[in-house]
Chains A and B, each alone.
Chain A
Amino acid sequence: MKTINLPEFCLVVLIGPSGAGKSTFARKHFLASEVISSDFCRGLVADDENDQSVTGAAFDLVHFIAEKRLQGRRLAVIDATNVRSEDRASYVRIARKFHALPVAIVLNPGESVCQERNAARPDRQFGPHVVRNHIRALKRGIRKLQKEGFRQVHEFRSSEEIEVVEISRQPLWTDKRAESGPFDIIGDIHGCCDELESLLAGLGYEVHFEGEGEARRCTVAAPAGRRAVFVGDLVDRGPRSPDVLRLVMSMVRAGTAFCVIGNHENKFLRWLNGRNVKPTHGLAETIAQMEEEPESFREEVRTFLDGLLSHAWLDGGKLVVAHAGLREDMIGRASGAVRSFCMYGETTGETDEFGLPVRYNWAADYRGRTTVVYGHTPVPEAEWLNDTICIDTGCVFGGKLTALRWPERELVSVPAVRTYFEPARPLQPQAKAREAQAEADDMLDLEDVRGKRQIETRFGGRMTINEANAAAALEAMTRFAVNPKWLVYLPPTMSPSETSRREGLLEHPLEAFDYFRKEQVATVVCQEKHMGSRAVMVVCRSPEVAQARFGTLGPESGAIYSRTGRDFFLDGEKTEAVLARVRQAADRAGLWDSLESDWFVLDAEIMPWSAKAQSLLRVQYAPVGVAASMDFAARAEVFQAAAARGIDVEDRDLTALRQFALAGRYAAAWRRYCWPVENLDDYRIAPFHLLASEGAVHTDKDHRWHMAQLAALTCGDDPLLMATSHRFVDLDDPEAVDGAVFWWETMTEAGGEGMVVKPLDFFAKGPRGFVQPAVKCRGKEYLRIIYGLDYDQPGNLERLRNRGLGRKRALARREAALGQEALERFVAGAPLRRVHECVFAVLALESEPVDPRL
């Protein structure tokens, strides 16, 4: 019996004459979906699995399916005769393209068996010469399979052998996803063992060297649960390469470290193998040091280096460590190209002014979800770019030796004791003005927002954005929104409470309370709904903070934008003046210290409504009032006169008078929200959420916390900032509920817009998933502006009650999840495109047609 140890990701090419039993073999050992059969593809294109006239098209299909599977890192099995070398070449090419190992399994039970099987099948009456030709072709090529590029070749020469084969699937060498850390990933050492020892000591490892010559040993005790990962380039240039090797080898042997190969190990290994290599780039130092070492040590090193991984894919797939970094499409795959990329990266073919090859900046284009930690290119400081980080901080050149703690993402370094080697290119050319990430984020890519999109959110799962919605958002985003660097959040839409059946009313707090009670929310907060314009305010302590944290270039110290991302004031000076006032309030409230942050994001309402909605008021709302007043006054006159002549006008004179009064109430309703704005003091800003600050998205805190923080901000003497009045209501306490209803009635009768009811927890979970984060309950008079001046007249209200909230609520939930995701990603330091796709999606959803009166 023979067991084939198959890499779990590979391309298996079955090879054998017609009748060899390939399909039976494939069925036995593989999933039906893993097997791509040429006969099946013939059937797909021509309804006949034996139609030889469509061979070309059928194989196009075989190749296409194979490519799609390999692209998705799934094993594929080619079930075709594949007896000729030119047939197989295309599969080797495809396997290489997707960095899958090509594996050949040859099934040749002998001509007689094949002839016999074909004879028994009515659809295979093509004569004995076919099998004979197959076997002849097979024999010609079988010795060359390795040379053709197959990394494993398995051959079986009888039905019995074929019958007893077993297949066991093995993870690729580099696939260490089951190893979950925590890890201490250590940058390029280059023989700097002194620094390595201090770095490890600082990380809690106990390193102990003893003995000399043959007897020299190193033992390392790791802190509980932690392991080291070495990014390669252990040797060359520095003073103690053999000791570094000794240390790393002992840890790897003890299972307390992983090590990936660096280009210097590769070259050193070739020297150890007796190849002719130039002792440049510090290899001479290593060679000289190795001269002092016993032969047995050299042999040990040779074996160790020979077994080094190209890269290590760790921690459930969240982390990859490779010496020179790794492209997304190479992670967890195997090919010569992958190994070469891991050791050397890619070069552009150009050389720089020091004669060194210009490296292709793969990290700038990296868009993967796996964090890549690498070395190879000495940098003055380790810094994140697109979730990749280079931790080669040039210790041997007099820089420092750096470790990255995972999953903590903390950097720990020790400075070099001295410069051991002069770099060909100066290590610190000039002080860099901006972070690499900020620079990369200057340029967003259309591919990240265009077309149909799927976005994974922690709160709402996968969100699908339609192509048409994304297209609609593109214009809004590019023509009107503020610089995307500021757009770390867009607020969700908000649904009204269920429609009330109470006489003369469309909305009432009791429906909102019922909703939350049904969702098993015990306590809600009722907040006054200010009638102004929604605004998101990003407040930084200074322009420098803005540049450092938000990656902006200009002198702004923050941004204030509307719910669709538009600049709120369209006046930089005014924006800065408002931000300065908010900053002062934050200074006084001690907010910077209590948040331990130099920036924060507020969700607020800015009044008056007329300040922002002036044109809407002038073009839409005000004219309705005048037209209605003129119309009804004139009607009243006409019908009164007719009535005076004794004509029965069916009370139309009275109706007109009543409508005239309603027109007045309509105008009074919106006029309350308008006042002239001459200077800053005429505005009112009422914040109601403190969304985020450094290291924290505050939606994990309840509304008591938010209200308390904001009270501190608004309690000063600045008239610009006003508190949002609110009350907490225990839904099981009838008195509290009555009190809240009374509060709403008082507020709305005085012309207030109404109130917003939210579960005490920012995001509450009910029996059917996440509860609406907020439900609005608007006042009777306010709704006149929305539904028309006579909406509450008998007959009208009945019809208006027939409104559906489902769509609005679904949108509110999706937008809330996306907004939350945007903030979380921003706070976690994700590249801007990952934040941007979320806010872009909110904007896209806003283009969904929903009754705008809701």
Chain B
Amino acid sequence: MLLTIETTHRPATDLGFLLHKNPDRLHEKSLSFGRAVMCFPEADEDRCRFALTVEVDPIGLVRGRAPGASLHDHYVNDRPYAASSFLSVAIARALNTAFAGRSKHRQELAETPIPLAVTVLPLAARGSEDLAKRLFEPLGYEVETLAHALDPALPDWGASPYITLRLEGSLTLRELLTHLYVLVPVLDNSKHYYVDDDEVEKLVAKGAGWLEQHPERDFIVNRALKRRRRLVREALARLTEEDEADDADEPARQDEAEDALERPIRLNDLRMARVTEVLAASGARRVVDLGCGEGRLLRELLASRQFEEVVGVDTSLRSLERASQRLKLDRMPERQAARLKLLHGALTYRDRRLEGYDAAALVEVIEHIDQDRHPALERALFEFMAPPLVVVTTPNREYNALFENMPAGALRHGDHRFEWTRAEFESWAHGVAERFGYALHLEGIGEVHAELGAPTQMAIFERGRQ
């Protein structure tokens, strides 16, 4: 990765004094992950250009991995080459005087805005195309980006995530370095170290004077703190001097897209409320949420004292962990915790632990299971678990036409294996009810469209009430 800084301020060679680097020598600074090597490719009265390169040891990078690090970290990756938080560390350590705004011989100049031009490359600008512009233009830079193909030999593979970033502006060197220090990792969207409370301090300190008013402030803080909610909240509070309300939980990234689509009608809330209502009305006391995910329905169920035992089952261990965190299982009073059980399971296997319950809910789950596995799911649920009441909800595919920003034929979630029209769902539900001896009632959840129906469809199966 490479950073160049040039100036046309006269005498341009003063840049050497500002950076505390002799333009006629090669400079090195050793860093924990490699070293920074610096030189001046150009240095005369009119024009002076400084270059900082970071040499990362790719093999040391892999070998030094902490145990438990993702195995994908072992594959070749762009970390030795792409501008990232490594560059920020190099700026802070190799250019520490300038970064602090000091200059032994030119302190006045250090505090004076001068014309500066910067190149950073290769810089991954993950997110929208104009992200670099959105981040740097409000700070007064003229921004120029040059895109690079993913592979020149395979033109149809399109652009790579990397750009060459060129900034021009008139400002102090300290300001420039500070902006890069904060914003390069934000563009790259990844940090090579663990983000903790110290990071809030750093961000608040380095953001002083510009980040508070930055139109992309929240975005920057979110990314800089790797979306760690508590840290983000704290940093924002300190940057804005007022506590912002904690509006609803941050949904898991996977579900974000689906939520975003459905948000205007707050469909998920309606769904949870209606399913809870149906379960409560049946008089059920011991209930199972099959495919509980992060526990949105579990929370509703636990809130009602009618339910003496609430079981959440999911096939993803990560989801169960998050459910446990979100429901604060470890801090729940013993009696309350005894009502809740989280089980790792899979709906296509018979699970003897789930036999003998009063009711089971499958909320937005069946569409995540391949249709050729449905016979197994149906038997596990209706033949072996066989609770007196089963509630199933699933998207109504027809309604998708009404979602803005949704391409025709697309599904609401990347992992949906299919979505059913009302007729398809009805036919499935009737088949199941008939085969396993359940009575069936169908209804919609959410605002009903005259032709396309409700966004969510629900089937209520009751055993032995044919």
Q: List residues of A whose CB falls within 8 A of some B CB.
A: 442-447, 449-450, 471-472, 474-475, 477-479, 483, 553-554, 618, 620-628, 630-632, 634-635, 637-642, 645-650, 652, 667, 671, 674, 676, 785-791, 796, 799-800, 849, 851-853
Q: Report B92-126 CB contacts with A as 1/0, cut-off 8 Å.
A: 00000000000000000000000000010110100
Residues in B whose Cβ lies below 8 Å from that of A641:
41-42
Question: What is the CA–CA distance of A645 and B82 in the complex, to the nearest angstrom?
Answer: 27
* Contact between chains at A444 and B376 (CB < 8 Å): yes
Q: Which residue of chain B has the shortest Cβ distance to A623 in the bound complex?
A: B78
Q: A446-B353, A631-B81 are in contact. List 17 more A-B contacts (CB 8 A).
A: A443-B350, A444-B376, A471-B344, A475-B317, A478-B315, A622-B157, A623-B124, A626-B162, A627-B78, A630-B164, A637-B41, A638-B4, A641-B42, A642-B39, A676-B156, A786-B76, A851-B74
Interface-located stretch among B147-155, B178-186, B244-252, B259-267 = B147-155
Contacts of B369-420 to chain A: CB distance below 8 A? 372-373, 375-376, 379-380, 383-384, 415
Residues in B whose Cβ lies below 8 Å from that of A475:
315-317, 346
* Contact between chains at B148 and A626 (CB < 8 Å): yes
A448 to chain B, nearest CB (A): 8
5 nearest CB pairs, A to B: A641-B41, A478-B346, A627-B81, A630-B122, A446-B349
Interface-located stretch among B51-59, B324-332, B434-442 = B51-59
Q: Which residue of chain B has the shortest Cβ distance to A789 in the bound complex?
A: B76
B7 to chain A, nearest CB (A): 16
Residues in A whose Cβ lies below 8 Å from that of B317:
471-472, 475
Residues in A whose Cβ lies below 8 Å from that of B162:
623, 626-627, 630
Residues in B whose Cβ lies below 8 Å from that of A446:
345-346, 349-353
Residues in A whose Cβ lies below 8 Å from that of B372:
483, 553-554
* Contact between chains at A479 and B315 (CB < 8 Å): yes
B34 to chain A, nearest CB (A): 13
Tell whether A852 pairs with B149 under 8 Å between CB atoms, given A635-B53, A638-B39. Answer: no
* B281: interface (CB < 8 Å): no
* Contact between chains at A442 and B379 (CB < 8 Å): yes
Tell me which of A624, A631, A788, A791 has the highest count of chain B C-beta atoms within 10 A of its own C-beta: A631
* Contact between chains at B315 and A444 (CB < 8 Å): no
A377 to chain B, nearest CB (A): 21
B57 to chain A, nearest CB (A): 9
In the assembled complex, 10 residue pairs joining A and B whose CB atoms fall closer than 8 Å, in A order, are: A445-B350, A446-B346, A446-B352, A622-B150, A623-B124, A624-B81, A626-B150, A642-B39, A676-B156, A787-B76
Interface bin, chain B? 35 or more
Residues in B whose Cβ lies below 8 Å from that of A622:
150-151, 154, 157, 160
Question: What is the CA–CA distance of A667 and B152 in the complex, to the nearest angstrom?
Answer: 10
Q: Report B47-70 CB contacts with A as 1/0, cut-off 8 Å.
A: 000010100001100010000000
Tell whether A852 pairs with B39 under 8 Å between CB atoms, given A445-B350, A483-B373, A626-B160. Answer: no
Question: What is the CA–CA distance of A650 and B379 in the complex, to the nearest angstrom?
Answer: 72
Residues in B whose Cβ lies below 8 Å from that of A646:
24
* Contact between chains at B76 and A788 (CB < 8 Å): yes
Contacts of B132-173 to chain A: CB distance below 8 A? 148-151, 153-154, 156-157, 160-162, 164
Q: Report B1-33 CB contacts with A as 1/0, cut-off 8 Å.
A: 110100000000000000000001110000000
B224 to chain A, nearest CB (A): 22
Q: Which residue of chain B has the shortest Cβ distance to A445 in the bound complex?
A: B350
Q: Which residue of chain A has the shortest Cβ distance to B415 in the bound complex?
A: A479
Question: What is the CA–CA distance of A642 and B43 in the complex, to the nearest angstrom?
Answer: 9
Q: Which residue of chain B has the shortest Cβ distance to A446 in the bound complex?
A: B349
Residues in B whose Cβ lies below 8 Å from that of A483:
372-373
Q: Which residue of chain A has the shortest Cβ distance to B368 in the bound complex?
A: A479
* Contact between chains at B4 and A785 (CB < 8 Å): no
* Contact between chains at B63 and A445 (CB < 8 Å): no
Residues in B whose Cβ lies below 8 Å from that of A442:
375-376, 379
Question: What is the CA–CA distance of A530 and B153 in the complex, to the nearest angstrom?
Answer: 22
Question: What is the CA–CA distance of A624 and B61 in the complex, to the nearest angstrom?
Answer: 15
Question: What is the CA–CA distance of A646 and B23 in the complex, to the nearest angstrom?
Answer: 11
Question: What is the CA–CA distance of A630 and B40 in the complex, to the nearest angstrom?
Answer: 19
Tell which of B25, B53, B350 touches A638, judged by Cβ atoms closer than 8 Å. B53
Q: Which residue of chain A has the shortest Cβ distance to B69 in the bound complex?
A: A849
Residues in B whose Cβ lies below 8 Å from that of A650:
26
A417 to chain B, nearest CB (A): 41
Residues in B whose Cβ lies below 8 Å from that of A674:
154
Tell whether A647 pairs with B39 under 8 Å between CB atoms, given A667-B153, A851-B74. Answer: yes
* B421: interface (CB < 8 Å): no
Residues in A whose Cβ lies below 8 Å from that of B2:
631, 634-635, 638
* B77: interface (CB < 8 Å): yes
Residues in B whose Cβ lies below 8 Å from that of A788:
58-59, 76, 80
Question: What is the CA–CA distance of A786 and B59 in the complex, to the nearest angstrom?
Answer: 12
Tell whether A630 pairs with B51 under 8 Å between CB atoms, given A443-B379, A474-B346, A620-B77. Answer: no
A227 to chain B, nearest CB (A): 39
Residues in B whose Cβ lies below 8 Å from that of A635:
2, 53
* B75: interface (CB < 8 Å): yes
A459 to chain B, nearest CB (A): 27
A801 to chain B, nearest CB (A): 11
Question: What is the CA–CA distance of A229 and B415 in the complex, to the nearest angstrom?
Answer: 56
